[in-house]
Amino acid sequence: MKEILILGQQGQVAWELQVTLATLGRVTVLGSQDLDLADPDRIRAKIAALQPQIIVNAAAYTAVDKAESEPELAMAINGTAPGILAELARKSQALLIHYSTEYVFDGRKTTPYLETDTPNPVSAYGASKLAGEQAITQVDCAHLILRTTWVYGNRGKNFLLTILRLAAERPELKIVADQVGAPTWSRSIAEATAQIIAQSHPDRSNLKGIYNLSAAGKTSWHGFATEIVSEYRSHYPDRHLAVENILAIPATDYPTPAQRPAYSILDNSKVLADFGVQLPDWNASLGQLFARWQ
């Protein structure tokens, strides 16, 4: 039985991974209270004691705006720690799976980003995530870096939960409409990760590289918010939402400390060709989430 270590206990993806990976091995989960990823010595000691065969790093510094004022901490967790995990994976011949983001790009393209496109982050968060990718690829270990976009779920901190909270409180919302992406359900990411691990060769020789892994389709933040409210009302007509209008605004009307990419669509053809993995359309996944909402 494989020994699988999941880092990021309370995170959106980590929470789903605890279910999807349970059938593939014996799962150990470490949250921030168990392992401080800003402490290299603790990382080395903990991983050495556990000796996992598969390390799934779903932990990250994800406060995009706060990273602008805490770049060192973001870099320690997102940039330095993944390199240490890669070194430990190489030493013990383990597989490292690490999640990254479209924030490694500047969002200036108008066609879906390929894994081979040159990164150019425009925020401290994006720079820290790119540093993590580079730290892993510089170490000769079995690894998969899975880039995803606009992750949401029914727990943690994410756009979906924020919109539902605001929609319950306010009659009008103003949402950015000139940033485009593919909202990706955390459960879809976890299921795809399990699918990739399950079909991989026992010696993991085919596991090395960067793969885009995001939902099909595209929308704006405004389109996403509109659909969230519509789907929620469709599934739960007896639950009150105060919102009556969702207005579309440009990003310039909603300034944030960190710059966001205007275009966040990823080309997922590589993960489909190599592993047969294809995530559903974002809209279909949103409907599935609300159908299973508790």
State whether residue 60 is helix, strand or coil.
coil
Greatest Cα pair distance in the chain: 57
Q: Which two tokens stand for residue 34?
A: 């168990």
Q: Is residue 61 among the annotated active site residues? A: no
d(CA 293, CA 164): 13
Burial state string for 232-256 with b = 16 or more CB within 10 A and e = fewer than 16: bbeeeeeeebebeebebeeeeeeee
Q: Which two tokens stand for residue 256?
A: 């944030």
d(CA 93, CA 137): 15
Write down the catalytic residue from 103, 125, 211, 263.
Answer: 125
**Pseudo-torsion of CA 235, 21, 206, 12, nearest 10°?**
50
Q: Which two tokens stand for residue 138?
A: 């510089």
Active-site amino acid positions: 125
